[in-house]
Structure 1
């Protein structure tokens, strides 16, 4: 299934830099961050005075992002004074599970709190559809799912302790899993081909198979957001976990799409800043706890924790079949167990 109408043609944002609050004293980790949405998100948080870390495979690549951010100016609509933010990088190679623990330990040596982690880095339709990670998994499964899941495993204890600190606001500690409207193209009914996670036996071929692989990896992000919230939402002063579709954007993510596709649909894409508005809406907007925004779906309230956010910062609905599986068939718990076995040797 393609993106919904409201995902393809979102209304103008109602929450922008003019509405964002000071983030001084709070620590953020954005995977990726050297380009595209991650870069714009890191820049926003930096100018909001947050302590922001981005990830990169190399120091030279990170410097090409951090130095321009330091010399940039906040968006003209920003109302809070800027100038107290810091930005650093952590080396991270998502295509090699054996390196994830070391990267997490580097971050843990440098910080004693973690308020928000945004699993932003990802790959879509790699140029070589047969390219594998160091452990032999298809690139989209390895980079979009296995590595973020493993990284989160190592950082969850710090996230939990941060949620219990005296100066932490209720439900301000968050995990954001960047998904896509593409999750609607995942295998039915659960979003996961349980017996063939790399979709090697799938009947589809060529581009259709790669789209399904991408869709499955992004459906897994939706599922992990829900399951993380289910497991940890009541910890400390409350933890929120969301998945999101950042929007159709002008980034390098679409470089490997067919030329005809980019020619037809390229006009729908927006500047990467708009995707950063979506990520920041999910990551730093103060939720209305009294209306139930911190509750889980089905708890008799609004129940948005574990939910799905759409451009440019609005509550949306994940693929009906995927969400039904989470709430009725406990597919999030099942996926969690499957992934733990897959990355167990690297925990």
Structure 2
């Protein structure tokens, strides 16, 4: 099953710009922030006074997005007074795995803290099905390998940020954008272990698995980092530009404006966690409402595909995937 009914027709959002707090002094990295959900998320965080970096392989598209966000207005429901945010771009080419270390180092030169990473950059169906990264990978390269390398180099800065006196527990976060498509990933674990470079929905399952495994690996950190995966919603974005016409005929009316996806991402990225109610606890025998969990539109705790989650909890598939990716990417890390 590729999506549940509430994935396709979620209830009205309970966390909007009217509920969002001032983000002044906090630093955010939003990959793929020049268009679609990433753009809307970056715009929202900018008007909440955050320090925002968006990534792009193209300087011209990045500058265009930066200027567009600077000249935009906050949503009419926002209560925080805007005007203290900043936004700039970071050159990042996920199609060339060799270049990602230098991109990460560029950010490390500019910032002494990093509060939130949103791994948002994605490719769904490329115009050329044979399109590959420079290292010969298809969707695996952009959707999984590139963010994994970037995270590798930026995790130390996240850890140091989480230990700062002004950093609340679980306010430092890593968000791995997946989709409801992970529900159609290969049985039983969500990954085609014999050929991980096959095109398909297991790339989305991998992002769910990486969120869980990151949380597991760093759960004993003093001021813990919150790691979540999410389905942003069925949205009108450029990702579906190469899908067949029948898709639009059937599902077109069930697609929402991109701002709604930004609400999902912001819920995961900046909503305050009520630890007293058991949210974001240490990983146990479940993942709903816990560190490593899965978020659904438009900002709610959800449950990932049963097979994927059972594999993580019962068979350690997150650790297996992490080790596999480290082996594949040894020369770039």
Q: What TM-score, normalized by structure 2, do the two folds share?
A: 0.98
Write the distance in 1 (CA, Å) between the matches of 2:112 and 2:76. 33
Q: What corresponds to 2:313 in structure 1? A: 327
Paired position in structure 2 for 1:160:
159
Query: What is the match of residue 78 of structure 1?
Result: 78
Equivalent position of 1:179 in the other structure: 178
* Deviation for aligned residue 1:291: 1.6
Paired residue secondary structure (1:315): strand
Using the alignment, how far apart are the partners of 2:276 and 2:287 within structure 1? 9
Distance 2:146 2:323 in 1: 15
After superposition, the C-alpha distances for 1:295-331 in whole angstroms (9 at most, x for unaligned) are 1342699751100000000011100000000000000
Match of 1:277 in 2: 263
Residues 175 and 227, structure 2, Cα contact 8 Å, conserved in 1:
yes
Given candidates 278, 287, 293, the residue that maps to 1:292 is 278
1:243 aligns with one of 220, 224, 229: 229
Aligned to 1:20: 20
1:67 alignment partner, SS class:
helix
> In 1, Cα distance between the equivalents of 2:309 and 2:82?
40
Equivalent in the alignment of 1:205: none
Please give the alpha-carbon distance, in whole angstroms, between the structure 1 residues aligned to 2:224 and 2:25: 19
Secondary structure at 1:117 match in 2: strand
- Following superposition, the deviation at residue 142 of structure 1 comes to 0.5
Aligned length: 333
**Corresponding residue for 1:254?**
240
Shift of 1:215: 1.0
Residue 145 of structure 1 corresponds to 144
Partner of 2:213: 227
Instruction: Tell me if structure 2 keeps the 8 A contact 1:325–1:331.
Output: yes
1:130 CA drift (Å): 1.9
Q: 2:252, 2:286 → 1: CA distance?
A: 41
Query: Which deviations, in whole Å up to 9, do the C-alpha atoms of 1:57-82 show, x marking residues without a partner?
Result: 12211011110110111111001111
Shift of 1:234: 2.9
Alpha-carbon separation, structure 2, partners of 1:194 and 1:300: 24
Whole-Å separation in 1 of the counterparts to 2:255 and 2:111: 36
Unaligned runs of 5+ in 1: 200-212
8 Å Cα contact 2:289/2:301 also seen in 1: no
How far apart are 1:148 and its partner, in Å?
0.3
Q: Residues 85-111 of structure 1, C-alpha deviation per residue, up to 9 Å, x if partnerless? A: 000100000011000001000000000
Query: Does the residue aligned with 1:87 lie in a helix, a strand or coil?
Result: strand
- Structure 2 residue aligned with 1:120: 120
Q: Whole-Å Cα distance in 1 between the matches of residues 141 and 220 of structure 2?
A: 30
| Aligned counterparts of 1:301 and 1:39: Cα–Cα separation in 2 | 29
- Over 3 Å counting, the alpha-carbon distance change for 1:301 and 1:257 in structure 2 is closer
Provide runs of 4+ in structure 1 moved above 3 Å.
Answer: 299-303
Partner deviation per Cα, 1:23-56 (whole Å, 9 max, x = no partner): 0000000000000000000000000000000001
Q: Is the 8 A contact 2:95 2:142 kept in 1?
A: yes
CA contact (8 A) 1:183 1:214 kept: no
Once the 2 structures are TM-superposed, how far is the Cα of residue 112 of structure 1 from its aligned partner?
0.5
Change in Cα spacing, 1:300 to 1:215, as seen in structure 2 (3 Å) is closer
* 1:155-200 Cα distance to aligned partner (Å, 9 max, x none): 000000000011111110000000000011111111111111122x
Aligned twin of 1:216: 202
Structure 1: distance between partners of 2:43 and 2:313? 36
2:50 is the counterpart of 1:50: yes
RMSD: 1.2
